[in-house]
Chains A and B, each alone.
Chain A
Amino acid sequence: MSYFRAENLSLHFGGLKAVDAVSFAVERGEILSIIGPNGAGKSSIFNLISRIYRPTSGRIFFEDQDITEQPPYDIARLGIARTFQNIELFENATVLSNLLVGRHRHSTTQLWQELLFLPSVRAGEKLHRRRVEQVIEFLDLEPYRDKLISGLPYGVRKVIELARALCSEPKLILLDEPSSGLNVEETDGMSFWIRDLKNDLGVTVLMVEHDMSLVNRVSDRVIALNYGRVLATGSPAEVQQHPDVVAAYLGA
């Protein structure tokens, strides 16, 4: 059984088939990239997995559990974290409190305990803080700890989104265009981090990406989509030479 799999996943908006009977599987510890032209349904698949959209049909399984009907907040609790294409950080909060929200799924304290800030809450906060510090160190975010998000440049925000997802200690991480808006140097950094995610932290990565050089460098396998359907699956080189993929990108 695969670690994560989608079976016949479909999302229809009226007559528009954004995602049409897509099936794929992710093995534990691999980096799988989804590529495809604009409007191919890549981000829609992410939004289906994180339950922002409800699938028209099809099922999603994670660790042999059917998560198709789980409420959105439970997806994170199961160990699936994500980043967003257009950055969804908490703008008026500091980097530190953004990252601490990433720890939310690990918080165990009750409201009344928090109102009194009992020792259990204090201990929990210190633990969260230590874990967050490990992520800060991992992604070199030390200079930004106490800065407000609204004053930070785009490239840094992108890394903070990744950091926030990592703070939840995910088993599977969904990266929605991690390199969009980044310059060549920042993209390089991102590719090292994505490989470190897999090698050092043992996180399984499912990624949507347009930058083929990044895809080639980090992916174990690639899925190509067009018009909501799977065109090809395989190693990065195989997929890029597949005639249907070439036709989709360059025109037949």
Chain B
Amino acid sequence: MRFLFKTDYEDDIKLFPHSGYFVSYGLLLAVLLIAPYVLSSYLMSQLVFVCIYATVGVALLILTGFTGQASLGHAAFLAIGAYTAAYLQKYGVPFPVYFLAAGLLTGLIGALVGFPALRLQGIYLVIATISFAFIVEEILARWESVTNGNEGMRIKAVALFGVTVSRDSPTFYFLCLALLVLTIVGTLNLLRSPTGRAFVAIRDSETAARSMGVNVALYKVKSFAISAAITGFAGVLFAHKLSFISPEMFTLQLSIEFIIVILIGGTFSLHGAVLGAIFIVMIDPFLTYLKDDMPGIIAGIAAMFGAGTQGAANIQSKVAAFASLNGLKGAIYGIIIVLFVLFEPLGLYGRWLKIKLFFQLFPLYKRATFKRQKIYVKSERNR
């Protein structure tokens, strides 16, 4: 085990508490930088989506994990960013300009959504954000002069300083990675400054935050604006990666996927957002694999246990029919969320911490270390 001796107040502010962090994050960065020259184009494409989902995850974490304001409307913010980019690109606006414009516009709309949210809490806020997402989806489908309605919009490849950056090129991946890294660093900076602490204060006790001089309404709006702006930036890259956007891509399902990103990763950590993004991006090909191969495998097993050719074929078609049921994916997502909330509330990152501690303390690790205990009754809230 390592013991940290702090000799300066700077030690409490540093992003990397000790030299070990430089080694591990340096290695991670090196791996990420050589990835496009090593990995297959399919995996690279998945990695780009991981970056985009993780960016949105961090954005949602600021709002939900740190400020305590739940949102099921982040698909709408992503859509606003994506459509702003597509619309402005049509009129020849250069990439850096429409990238910034999309983020700022989404941030502004996020702030506007934040205002009605000031009076709402918990489940009511969730309902309000869902309604907002539906409104945006409807507007995208109906406002045909701008969004081209349900036919969707094409978006050309990024043109960066006269160079065309194809959506499959390493440069595009670096763009997404840069956005993710900047978002994470910005969030870490925020968390070690007064604003970030005010967010956490609002999450834990609005009354106490208020009596410490935190303007709760202002900071909630700020949190909404920051979260939405980051999601808007991610939306631009999302649109470029897909090269075609239409309203049905930004449905409630996508918002739920973002919630899964932070729930499964671990609601209170930035590591969690990245782990959750990896999970959600990789689960789709995994499910497709199961859907394609499971019926055959199950039929094979059935045949082995003497089901007969006819019986095995019968089973295979039944399983295949079940696997292609509508809404099965949603059900699997639901089950995953329920299982994580029940058995691993700290998420994948919490699991990683436990594994790390196990090896640090070996052979003295106690299972009860992470047992949540409630010793005192939570104080009453003036809500």
Q: Report which A residues bind B (CB closer than 8 A).
A: 47, 50, 52, 71-77, 81-82, 84, 86-93, 96-97, 100-105, 107, 109, 111, 114-117, 121-122, 124-126, 129-130, 133, 153-154, 164, 168
Q: Would A104 and B189 be within 8 Å (CB), given that A90-B208, A93-B204, A111-B222 are in contact?
A: no
**Pairwise interchain contact B194-A109, C-beta atoms closer than 8 A:** yes
Q: Would A121 and B193 be within 8 Å (CB), given that A52-B382, A90-B201, A104-B198 are in contact?
A: yes
Which residue of B has the minimal Cβ distance to A96?
Answer: B12
Q: Residue B193 contacts which of A91, A117, A164 (CB distance < 8 angstroms)?
A: A117
CB-CB under 8 A from A82, the residues of chain B are 211
**Pairwise interchain contact A89-B208, C-beta atoms closer than 8 A:** yes
Which residue of B has the minimal Cβ distance to A78?
Answer: B213
CB-CB under 8 A from A93, the residues of chain B are 197, 200-201, 204
Cα distance, A107 to B212, chains bound together (Å): 12
Known: A52-B210, A93-B204. 13 other contacts (CB 8 A): A82-B211, A84-B211, A86-B379, A91-B204, A93-B200, A104-B198, A111-B222, A117-B189, A124-B194, A133-B9, A153-B375, A164-B212, A168-B213
**Pairwise interchain contact A115-B189, C-beta atoms closer than 8 A:** yes
CB-CB under 8 A from A121, the residues of chain B are 189, 193
Across chains A and B, the number of contacting residue pairs, with CB separation under 8 Å, is: 124
CB-CB under 8 A from A88, the residues of chain B are 205, 207-208, 211, 379, 381
Q: Would A73 and B214 be within 8 Å (CB), given that A86-B379, A129-B9 are in contact?
A: yes
**Pairwise interchain contact A105-B212, C-beta atoms closer than 8 A:** yes
Q: Residue A115 contacts which of B190, B200, B203 (CB distance < 8 angstroms)?
A: B190
Nearest CB on A from B380, distance (A): 6
Cα distance, A160 to B378, chains bound together (Å): 16
B294 lies within 8 A of chain A by Cβ: no
**Pairwise interchain contact B200-A72, C-beta atoms closer than 8 A:** no
**Pairwise interchain contact A115-B186, C-beta atoms closer than 8 A:** yes
Cα distance, A133 to B204, chains bound together (Å): 23
**Pairwise interchain contact A114-B379, C-beta atoms closer than 8 A:** no
**Pairwise interchain contact A90-B10, C-beta atoms closer than 8 A:** no
Cα distance, A71 to B9, chains bound together (Å): 34
